A and B are shown apart, each in its own frame.
Chain A
Amino acid sequence: MAIVFQRPHALKETQMHYCPGCTHGIIHRMVAEVIDELGIEGTTIGVSPVGCAYNNYLYFNCDMVQAPHGRAPAVATGIKRVHPDNTVFTYQGDGDLAAIGTAEIVHAANRGEKITTIFINNAIYGMTSGQMAPTTLIGQVTTTSPFGRKPEIEGYPVNVCEMLATLKGAAFVERVSTHDIKNLNKTKRAIKKAFQVQMAGLGFSIVEVLSTCPTNWGMDPVKSLKWVEEKMIPQYPLGNFRGKDLEV
């Protein structure tokens, strides 16, 4: 009997700890599929964040390092400089990357560090139970913005891709979404290209993935996907911000 669908080799046979309807799992799967397709599992080193994905070092079959909160790009820099021929990626959420780790991501990108960052933006802190993130939308209710995010108090949502796209060292910058099949396919293509950009030695690459948090948003999974489409995309327009025409 022909096998038409199976777990990617780069993903371990472990039950993930994510909540029902969370899109972390599917993004993990796409990263693993890309690793399989590029045939780089044996040379890839991943860096886990602090946040919901803190223990995804247990899910991938490649070598993994768990980093301090927000510091994954610096840790990845250390690894990549020791093993320049390996493929190194970080997997970070919006609190990790866009709040506590802002300096690390900006400077890794600016150095043109040859690493790939998968940036999960779900507009909220998940693991610590639903606090406001830098990417939280205006008016969005969280446990630390219980009356909705007010710009005069909490400032505005941070558009990471637009910001990083101003840096010459950032070779490939693209924002994608998980809210339907068409966009999932685009997401996987973007992740693959980001890895290829790294492997071609062209510089830093990042894919921002708009993602859901049904538990902390207080919505069911289907509504959550709708919310990404209707609320998040207007603030975070999809598309490529840098490196669209790179040949890899």
Chain B
Amino acid sequence: MGEKILMKGNEVIAEAALRAGCRHYFGYPITPQTEVAHYFAKKMPEYGGTFIQAESEIAAMNMVYGAASAGARVMTSSSSPGISLKQEAISYAACAELPAVIVNIVRAGPGLGGILASQCDYFQSTKGGGHGDYRMVVLAPSSVQELYELVVDAFNIADRYRTLCMIMGDGMLGQMMEGVEFSDQEEIFKADKGWAVTGTGMTRENNMITSIYIDPEILEKHNLKLQAKYREITENETRVETYNCDGADIIVAAYGTVARIIKNVIKTAEKEGIKVGLIRPITLWPFPTATFEKYAEVPKAFLSVEMSAGQMVEDVRLSLNGKSPVHFLGRMGGMIPTQKEILEKIREILK
């Protein structure tokens, strides 16, 4: 490990991508993630890579589609309204099985909404967003250090499974500075990209990247192949952190920066004699259902705390399947749940 340096989340995203061998970035300015683009714009020439400020989010994601087809490690980043614009090409890329990394530094919606931190894109990221039966891996870091590690992992997961991989943070994570330690050498999964378009060199059959299958039998077969891949990803790549769960009076489900607030709550609650556990999904898809099942009968209740109107709470309920009551506390619009209100909610539930 090298020296610890103080860096902004958004800059760490770009630095991590460069370390993971990403040499192609296409994006469009939007607050609060634009520093990702600033960093790439400055650094890419040093690395002999490509930075393009595209004419739109739509074009940027289609440039990703092209570069991924061509076999490169490629990334785009945006924030909520921009991610909506990318959905067309996201669905196409999922169908064409193109590996790429998409970063969403979520801001409050719907609509143009506001620019402050939110988790209101959980549904969009984990349940589709674009059309069709597809999934993408969604990683939710909760610190700048973890952001770095997960961006590197995201490229490896993308290449390993020929899948899209999203980093879902929020404005707080993108904007905050924390100490980060980069390793001297990243572990890079070397994928065989024999499927990529590189020019046949007149030595092989031509490669074709497509997402159109007019014949229903062939399209169903292709869908079954995608579903099998998603099951494999679920088996191998589900990630979760559990904290203080054994013997807990209540278990809180929270991800990203909200999970950090819960860690403070845990300390304060302890002084009142309340044991609060935390299940922090690191992959939002695949969702760590098994972990919730494991702890289903431990606490008196579960509580999902989110910066949304209640999105992940649905997956918590599905995972627990009625075995335990599930409560919800959420703030919206860029408001952040406070320790105080979370504690009050916990007291009220346990009363």
Q: Do chains A and B touch in the complex (CB under 8 A)?
A: yes
Interface residues of A (CB under 8 A from B): 41-45, 47-48, 54-55, 57-58, 60-68, 71, 74-83, 86, 103-104, 106-107, 111
Q: Please, what's the 1-or-0 string for B80-104, where 1 marks a CB less than 8 Å from any CB in chain A?
A: 0000000011001000100000000
Chain A residues near B66: list those with CB within 8 A.
Answer: 47, 65, 67, 74-82
Are A71 and B59 closer than 8 Å at their CB atoms? yes
Are A79 and B70 closer than 8 Å at their CB atoms? yes
Asked whether A86 and B63 contact (CB < 8 A) given A66-B210, A103-B56, the answer is no
The A/B interface has a contact count, at CB < 8 Å, of 136
Interface centre among B54, B60, B62 (most CB of A within 10 A): B62
What's the Cα separation between A235 and B267 when bound, in Å? 76
Are A67 and B62 closer than 8 Å at their CB atoms? yes
Q: Does B52 contact A (CB under 8 A)?
A: yes
Give 6 pairs: A residue, B residue, CB < 8 Å, sorted on A.
Answer: A63-B207, A66-B208, A74-B54, A75-B62, A78-B69, A103-B58
Are B72 and A82 closer than 8 Å at their CB atoms? yes
Stretch at the interface among B138-146, B196-204, B290-298, B303-311: B196-204
Are A45 and B70 closer than 8 Å at their CB atoms? yes
Chain B residues near A71: list those with CB within 8 A.
Answer: 58-59, 62, 65, 88-89
B94: min CB distance to chain A, Å: 12
A16: min CB distance to chain B, Å: 15
Are B200 and A41 closer than 8 Å at their CB atoms? yes
Are B62 and A57 closer than 8 Å at their CB atoms? no
A64: min CB distance to chain B, Å: 5
Interface residues of B (CB under 8 A from A): 24, 26, 50, 52, 54-56, 58-60, 62-72, 74, 88-89, 92, 96, 197-203, 206-212, 214
Which single residue of chain A is at the shortest CB-CB distance from B211?
A66
Are A64 and B206 closer than 8 Å at their CB atoms? yes
Interface centre among A63, A82, A111 (most CB of B within 10 A): A82
Asked whether A42 and B200 contact (CB < 8 A) given A68-B62, A78-B70, A78-B74, the answer is yes
Are A42 and B62 closer than 8 Å at their CB atoms? no
Interface centre among A41, A58, A61, A83 (most CB of B within 10 A): A83
B300: min CB distance to chain A, Å: 50
Chain A residues near B59: list those with CB within 8 A.
Answer: 71, 74, 77, 103-104, 107
Interface centre among A42, A47, A55 (most CB of B within 10 A): A42
Chain A residues near B200: list those with CB within 8 A.
Answer: 41-42, 61-63
What's the Cα separation between A111 and B26 when bound, in Å? 14
Are B198 and A83 closer than 8 Å at their CB atoms? yes
What's the Cα separation between A55 and B62 when bound, in Å? 18
Are B62 and A41 closer than 8 Å at their CB atoms? no
B86: min CB distance to chain A, Å: 11
Are B208 and A57 closer than 8 Å at their CB atoms? yes
What's the Cα separation between A159 and B92 when bound, in Å? 30
Are A75 and B69 closer than 8 Å at their CB atoms? yes
Chain A residues near B92: list those with CB within 8 A.
Answer: 68
The 8 closest A-B pairs by CB, nearest first: A78-B66, A74-B62, A78-B67, A63-B197, A82-B70, A75-B66, A71-B62, A107-B55
Chain B residues near A55: list those with CB within 8 A.
Answer: 212, 214
Chain B residues near A64: list those with CB within 8 A.
Answer: 197, 206-210
What's the Cα separation between A61 and B204 when bound, in Å? 10
Chain B residues near A76: list those with CB within 8 A.
Answer: 66
B167: min CB distance to chain A, Å: 20
Are A63 and B198 closer than 8 Å at their CB atoms? yes
Are A74 and B209 closer than 8 Å at their CB atoms? no
Are A78 and B197 closer than 8 Å at their CB atoms? no
Are A65 and B197 closer than 8 Å at their CB atoms? yes
B17: min CB distance to chain A, Å: 15
Which single residue of chain A is at the shortest CB-CB distance from B74?
A78
Which single residue of chain B is at the shortest CB-CB distance from A85?
B199
Chain A residues near B72: list those with CB within 8 A.
Answer: 82
B21: min CB distance to chain A, Å: 13
Interface centre among A57, A60, A68, A81 (most CB of B within 10 A): A81
Chain B residues near A83: list those with CB within 8 A.
Answer: 70, 198-199
A207: min CB distance to chain B, Å: 21
Interface centre among B63, B64, B198, B201 (most CB of A within 10 A): B63
Are A67 and B65 closer than 8 Å at their CB atoms? yes
What's the Cα separation between A62 and B201 when bound, in Å? 9
| Additional A-B contacts beyond A48-B210, A82-B70 (13; CB < 8 A) | A64-B207, A64-B209, A65-B65, A68-B65, A71-B65, A78-B63, A80-B66, A81-B24, A81-B63, A81-B66, A103-B59, A104-B62, A106-B55
Asked whether A77 and B55 contact (CB < 8 A) given A43-B201, A62-B200, the answer is no
Which single residue of chain B is at the shortest CB-CB distance from A48?
B210
